[in-house]
Amino acid sequence: MACLCEQVAGNDIELSPTCIGNLWIFQNLDADEIEALSREALRKKSTKGQALFLQGDPTDEMFLIKGGHVKLSKVLEDGTELTLDIRKAGDFVGENMFSEEGQYPVSAYCLENTLTCGFSRSQFEQLVLQHPKVGLQIIKNLSERITWLTRRVGSLAVTNIEDRLYRVLTSVAKEHGTISPQGTVIQFPLTHEDLSFLTGAHRVSITRAMKSLKAAGKIILEDKHLILPALKTA
């Protein structure tokens, strides 16, 4: 019998082999608990540009990105929008459902057609009542995500804009890219606005830095896709 995710996704979304019950946040659970998570999960298909949730929405859902890419962004009080992260198929979104805060602190937008597999708050609370170890394990594993996010801030300490931009592109390519004969390809579009938020630099500076990186052969722009030749064998 085909996986329910495959039935919902159809042929236009490439799916990650990762299942909801095998996420890092649920590691070290018993087989029956993993089976219950996978069996009860809700599958949803979203289109490119659609919001999975918006900043300020109630934190009522968490999910695995089974297929597609999702951008996490935050709007500041002065109206500035910051791109905080880009999540790929196999990543987890909506961790804030486990906190005491009642609203999502960021928005999540699909960069392409996307399939998610997850739980509503009320549904998950029922699962935890039936399998108490699930809740305990989540508490232990969330600290690892905090450490990972802290490391991402390190690239902003680099003062040279070109170096800072290249580090961000390298990080995105290693995490989300695919290998080609030319190098590692970032398959989804990254606008100069996105890159300015990721690097903490002005868009004009990003434009100059991109030209310099292309002139130096560090990046290739082909059919609106960025390629990093140095990561050919990464």
Q: From CA 46, how far away is CA 171, in angstroms rounded?
A: 26
pLDDT band at 154 (very low <50, low <70, confident <90, very high): low
| pLDDT for 37 beyond 80 | yes
- Which residues have CB under 8 Å from 149's CB, separation 6+? 85
Q: Are 91 and 65 in contact (CB under 8 A)?
A: yes
What amino acid is encoded at 87 in this protein? R
Predicted local distance difference test score (pLDDT) of residue 47 = 93
Closest by CA position to 53, among listed 45, 62, 43: 62
The alpha carbons of the chain give a radius of gyration, in whole angstroms, of: 19
Of residues 143 and 71, which shows the higher confidence score? 71
Q: From CA 58, how far away is CA 45, in angstroms rounded?
A: 20
Q: From CA 215, how far away is CA 68, in angstroms rounded?
A: 31
Predicted local distance difference test score (pLDDT) of residue 1 = 41
Distances (CA, A) of 41 to 61, 121, 200: 11, 12, 37
Predicted local distance difference test score (pLDDT) of residue 153 = 55
Q: From CA 192, how far away is CA 190, in angstroms rounded?
A: 7
